[in-house]
Amino acid sequence: MIIIVGVGRSGTSLLQSMLNAHSEIGVLPEIKYFRRFLFSKSLERFRKKNGTRALIQFLGNDSLLSRLNVDFSKFIEWENLADRSLDLKIFDCIAEEYLGKEGKTILGYKDPRCIENLRQIKAWFPNAYVIHIIRDPRDILLSKTKADWSKSRSWFLHILINQLQLQLGLNSGYLFKERYIEIHYEALLREPEQSLRSLCEKLGVIYEDSMLEFSHSATKLVSPDEMQWKKETLGPLLQDNIRKWEGELSCLQIGSVEELVGSAFEHYNYQKTCSTLTPWQTVVFPVIRTMNDMAAAAYDFLNKVRI
């Protein structure tokens, strides 16, 4: 299985469409199954409380799962499970039916926020490949100030979340060893074929030119209510969709990103442009960044405990 993660607005949907255009890889639409059900084993508890019939009805009425057109009533008898939990068994059935309909053999799963749950993913899917797509945090901030789902939130909060999620990736990505693959959004735009060839080699599949013709693939993965912030996924590839922040973010926003999202500038080679800080920034930013890094460490520790 291939799992795509990354900070929101970092290009996960574009990569999802490209991989889904491969003849062997079928990537599920973004159903958020892991975070909603699997990690908490909530479906297993639901069935014990309400029964299998009610569970089937619940799954059939779920707005995200309904995108898959899966007939849950024809699945195996969930009353008699072997050594796998109900939540995982249901996912196995969803994956098997989806791949069968698509005529694919390799499952892909995309959820940006699962960058926060790499330890759980490793426990549930020890042989999975994880692709972490990384983007300039200044362009991420600009994009989040425009997308319907995020534009009403504080831009400063977006910066803190960016650092938190990047740090969690650094804290846990090593668990997958060579199956943890980092790819830069900017490289994917500037040199798409070379980037995809390298990615396919690491995944153990043969590169196909169809991956660059991803528009049809994207139409099956993007729902109408996601179109406002995912329309660029439909193509064509916007190779100039880089460094747009330069003319649109304020000096305060740029300085805040560059000082607070340390992982991006220390580990992923993005270059700072704001050379001077105000006195209050010099005092406050190091404190905020330390607290955010401590929060990432605490969150990572809690993930260890939950497994």
Determine contact, residues 4/108, Cβ cutoff 8 Å.
yes
Least confident of 31-35, 83-87, 173-177, 179-183: 83-87
Please state the pTM of the whole predicted model. 0.92
25-27 vs 2-5, strand pairing mode? unpaired
| SS3 state at 93 | helix
Tokens of residue 17, six digits: 């469409």
Residue range 197-214: average pLDDT? 97
Determine contact, residues 39/117, Cβ cutoff 8 Å.
yes
Beta bridge partners of 106: 25
Predicted confidence (pLDDT) at residue 165 exceeds the cutoff of 90? yes
Residue from 185, 10, 9, 208 nearest 106 by CA: 208
Beta bridge partners of 208: none
- DSSP-assigned letter for residue 276: -
Domains of the chain, earliest start first: 2-24+105-155+173-243 (3.40.50.300)
Average pLDDT of the chain, as a whole number: 90
Between 237 and 254, the higher pLDDT residue: 254
Determine contact, residues 200/212, Cβ cutoff 8 Å.
no
Q: Which of 66-70, 244-248, 303-307 has the highest mean pLDDT?
A: 244-248
